[in-house]
Structure 1
Amino acid sequence: MPSKICIIGAGAAGLVTAKHAIKDGHQVEIFEQTDKVGGTWVYSEETGCHSSMYKIMKTNLPKEAMLFQDEPFRDDLPSYMSHEDVLEYLEEYSKDFPIFFNTTVIDVRRDGEQWKVTISTNSNLSIHFYDVVFVCNGHFFEPLNPYKDSGFVGEMLHSHDYRRAEHFEGKKVVIVGAGPSGIDITLQVAMTARHVTLISKKATYPVLPKTVLQIASHVKSVYGFGVTTDEGENITADVIIVCTGYVFKFPFLDSSLIQLKHNGLMVSPLYQHLCHVDYPQSLFFIGLPLGTITFPLFEVQAKYALSLVSGKGKLPDDIQNFEERRLKTLENPAAFHILVEDQWDYMKELAAMGGFEEWNFMETIRKIYCYIMIERKKNVIGYKMVNFELNEDKSDFKIVKI
């Protein structure tokens, strides 16, 4: 029997959920607080807003590994695309979807057998009722900055508010964190800054620009004129750019429903990073896992969740124990939603429980992903300067240097 479904957010996770929910015959309404689709892929010169996109950005994954099933990117695009290319893809993908723009979800709560959703459009509040709610509001908008109250007298910003390298011309810049954003920003800022110091336990890259000093350590503290490492080394700076990631945030959910644990890095109580354990067939969170291939993973999550909505999918009896079992495998509980190598078995498991076929091409995506992880470590400057060419049956690929 069709359900009335509310989807919060028109980024990639919300759009692929809508696509499959509509295909399954459900009545769908998507609420998006901005005026366009795309979520984190929408660039804005404005800072302090929802977007974390910077002016010049190539994707960290090639188009061959970040597509929705049956929806390839344009053939004429390079493998590593611009954010504009990805946004165009999402706009095309979501044509004719029932999206309510400039509409903010204020509150979601259980009301009998339904979900009561309060929304605000142009400051006018209205209440709607749904059988199922999908939370797809992303997790690149609430910066995690452990140093924000440090008393640093120069300029400090989080990568969320980084837009362009010209701003740092002639400056002495310290960048904290060497994840994808930290490295991208380091390479861009190195072209304009007088000197860049990259500090992270991951800062062990064999090749970086000559103006970059990397220190494989942790920033213990920030003082008025710079940072102090764990080893007690003081590094002065005009600017500190903090690339320490994001916390999860759901301002429309009461803490009696969802708790954020381990400094906002774990969403609880969920089964498979996806279903609320008390409402496993009607309250879902798409796109929480980190260190993944994103778009294809969102799609597998959406398909499994919808299999539960229809009653076709399976749920084990012990879903309440999922978190405890997962935490026992981790050294750091803050890594709860980081999958990386676990993502492949995770998607296989969801497909098996959801009763839908695995995507054959996923094995090729896995090969591409593994190749990229190795190449990125060896040559973080040049690993994107290639195109991937798939063979005829798309079971393998070759690399073509640009």
Structure 2
Amino acid sequence: MLFTLSSLVLASFVAAPCLASSQAAFSIPGADDSDNYEFKWPVQNVAIIGAGVSGLMAYRELTRAGLQAHIFERDRVPGGNWYYSEETPLDAPIPSADIAVGDFVPSLPPAGVELPYTEEYKDNYADVKRGHRGPKPLWDSLHSNAPAPIQQITDFPWPVDINWELSHYQLGKYLRSFASFLGLNSNDENPDTSYNTRVERVDKYLDENGNEHGWKLLLKKLVQTDYGTLKATWYTQVFDAVVVATGRYNAPHIPPIAGLPEVAQVFPDRLTHSRQYRHPEPYASETILIVGASVSGAEISRNLNPFAKKIYQSIRPDKSDAEHIPVSALLGRLPSNTTIVPEIKRFLPPTGSDFSAVQIELVNGTILTGIDRVIFATGFRYSFPFLPQYHNSSIGLNDTVPTGELQPIVTDGTHIRSLHLDIFYIDDPTLCFIDMNVGMQSFTYSEYLSVAFSKVWTKKAFLPSRREMWRMHEERVKDRGGYGRYFQFLGAARTDENIRYFMAWLNTAAAKYGGRKVDSLPRGTSDIGQYWIKARYGDLNFRFNFSALQPLGVVDTALDMLSEEERSEAVYDAVFGDWW
């Protein structure tokens, strides 16, 4: 199913709840107290992995509910994906790493040592530090694709005179300000925060009787010493529950294209993932092939356009029947002089020392040569290396493991599974994930998720039984046509539906058990979205003739059948997608 503005209010602009006639309201969990999930141990102390907007919001709601919470952040400051640095991530491996280590390879202390254990790096430790902190996939001139009145925490608004178009610098400072407001910034020396600390492993904690009673985290903290060395300390801490707030942009995906690994061995510096892009100047007067045309592919193409000699944009056919923003709609963001080409079939074996002589064969038989660099704007996969036991890449996309075995959360990295409401791990809801969906605004959506697990863990709201959560999950899988890349996609309609669900569940529980209630999003956000589109994108012409592009196999028929007005609306709708 494809979305346009005529059929879909933008996910970023969900306003007051209204029930569409085609949608059925959720049942409210915990309506029958006799069939609630029973936790094996009480929750009082919670670990939060990540200090982006989701982690900060989780901390606020957990502590508001009377729980203790501790944030572990691998970087040196809060802000998550919006903390920019000139330092780039480590090169993305070609082919892509196994999904269990797609983000990073856990650094473990030597077997058998007593913890805490310390090592000191004296020379050549830059890559150790870089891999530990994981620089984010931002470039210097990046601006958000949502306006300020939408991309803000509801009770922590921007100044009224702020420009609606937000740079990543502004967003980074905004989140650090929010962290300071909560007393969680890196210079606040709050004992509830551990910066420069990466979670290497999360395992069930067994008490003295051998019974499960929480989670044990293996942690690695890096400290720059005064005498020029880097000190690493491994230690453990035990918590009753864990919130994973690491975001979705950590494990780079590079598609398995025939011949690509062989070319990468000879020309590793000519092939990069979009997460390593920072400035256009190094690409001046070069011919660039960008693979992918989602948000990062389109915006990097625009950024490079004044500098590059020529830009090719390779686009894979959009054939999915799942609900999503069509890739065709993103073409409206590409500069008019961009040359769109179809999917890459293979890289031919290199025959010399000049990368520009490498031949790249497309699926329609065209051979590209004269390319100076290739940028893979092919997105990211879900990966949580600190939870290897919940990764299973051996099963197929829609395969399952037998009942009674450990149910995976990650399989091929395109989606996450085994979660109730995309939050609670069904077999043990003391493990939660926050803001793992796409097609929604995390600055506002995270509040509902945070209130949900805060109330559940303090017995101010209840989950249905494990059996019922699995039934609901399996029903959702069936409704979405199986697992896959778009399984976590919400869009405006589903975001609106979910917010109604959280309001009904949590506010009904508040009336019965006490605790805070949640509100709908402010009215007027839909109007703001329309103003934003007209102001920022109103002067864009519909640059591409879909009928001419269709023989290349990059355009879906459904979009081509729409009217010109509807197609233009689809372009505007797609700029708010958050597949980077």
Which TM-score bucket, shorter chain as reference?
A: 0.7 to 0.9
Retained in 1: the 8 A contact 2:202–2:387?
yes
Match of 1:218 in 2: 343
Query: d(CA) in 1 for partners of 2:535 and 2:469?
Result: 38
- Which of residues 356, 363, 375 is equivalent to 1:230? 363
The alpha-carbon deviation at position 18 of structure 1 amounts to 0.7
The alpha-carbon deviation at position 124 of structure 1 amounts to 1.8
Retained in 1: the 8 A contact 2:409–2:418?
no
Identify which of structures 1 and 2 has the higher relative contact order when contacts are C-alpha pairs closer than 8 Å and 6+ apart.
Answer: 2
Give 1:231's aligned amino acid: N
Matched, 1:17 2:20: no
Matched, 1:171 2:286: yes
Higher strand share: 1
Give 1:296's aligned amino acid: T
Q: In the TM superposition, what are the counterparts of 1:221-300 in structure 2 within 5 Å?
A: 221-223=346-348, 224=350, 225=358, 227-236=360-369, 237-256=371-390, 259=408, 261=410, 263-280=412-429, 282-300=430-448
The alpha-carbon deviation at position 299 of structure 1 amounts to 1.6
The alpha-carbon deviation at position 2 of structure 1 amounts to 7.2
Matched, 1:353 2:508: no
Query: d(CA) in 2 for partners of 1:375 and 1:75?
Result: 18
Structure 1 328/375 Cα, relative in aligned 2: closer, same or farther at 3 Å?
Answer: farther
Matched, 1:77 2:237: no
Q: Deviation digits for residues 109-150 of structure 1, max 9, x if unmatched? A: 112221111212232222211111101112212101114526
Structure 1 60/311 Cα, relative in aligned 2: closer, same or farther at 3 Å?
Answer: same
Q: Which has the larger radius of gyration?
A: 2
- Which of residues 227, 234, 237 is equivalent to 1:125? 234
Query: d(CA) in 2 for partners of 1:300 and 1:365?
Result: 17
Query: d(CA) in 2 for partners of 1:242 and 1:276?
Result: 32
Match of 1:88 in 2: 173
Match of 2:197 in 1: 103
1:149 partner SS: helix
Match of 1:137 in 2: 246
Bigger Cα displacement from structure 2, 360-369 vs 61-70? 360-369
Match of 1:149 in 2: 261
Match of 1:398 in 2: none
The alpha-carbon deviation at position 377 of structure 1 amounts to 8.3
Match of 1:311 in 2: 459
Match of 1:399 in 2: none
Query: d(CA) in 2 for partners of 1:39 and 1:195?
Result: 34
The alpha-carbon deviation at position 253 of structure 1 amounts to 0.9
Retained in 2: the 8 A contact 1:174–1:199?
yes
Query: d(CA) in 1 for partners of 2:45 and 2:436?
Result: 23
Query: d(CA) in 2 for partners of 1:140 and 1:220?
Result: 26
Retained in 2: the 8 A contact 1:248–1:260?
no
% same residue: 24
Q: Which runs of 5+ in 1 are unaligned?
A: 383-402
Matched, 1:183 2:315: no
TM-score in terms of structure 2 length = 0.61
Retained in 1: the 8 A contact 2:297–2:377?
yes
The alpha-carbon deviation at position 233 of structure 1 amounts to 2.6
Give 1:186's aligned amino acid: S
Query: d(CA) in 1 for partners of 2:407 and 2:76?
Result: 28
Q: In the TM superposition, what are the counterparts of 1:34-53 in structure 2 within 5 Å?
A: 34-47=75-88, 48=90, 49-53=134-138
Q: Which runs of 5+ in 2 are unaligned?
A: 1-41, 91-133, 185-191, 206-211, 223-231, 318-326, 351-357, 391-405, 508-515, 543-580
TM-score in terms of structure 1 length = 0.86
Retained in 2: the 8 A contact 1:141–1:160?
no
The alpha-carbon deviation at position 328 of structure 1 amounts to 2.2
Retained in 1: the 8 A contact 2:499–2:520?
no
The number of residues matched between the two structures is 380
Bigger Cα displacement from structure 2, 67-76 vs 4-13? 67-76
The alpha-carbon deviation at position 199 of structure 1 amounts to 2.4
The alpha-carbon deviation at position 86 of structure 1 amounts to 0.6
Match of 2:479 in 1: 329
Query: d(CA) in 1 for partners of 2:68 and 2:273?
Result: 39
2:175 partner SS: helix
Query: d(CA) in 2 for partners of 1:363 and 1:230?
Result: 48
1:65 partner SS: coil
Match of 2:213 in 1: 113
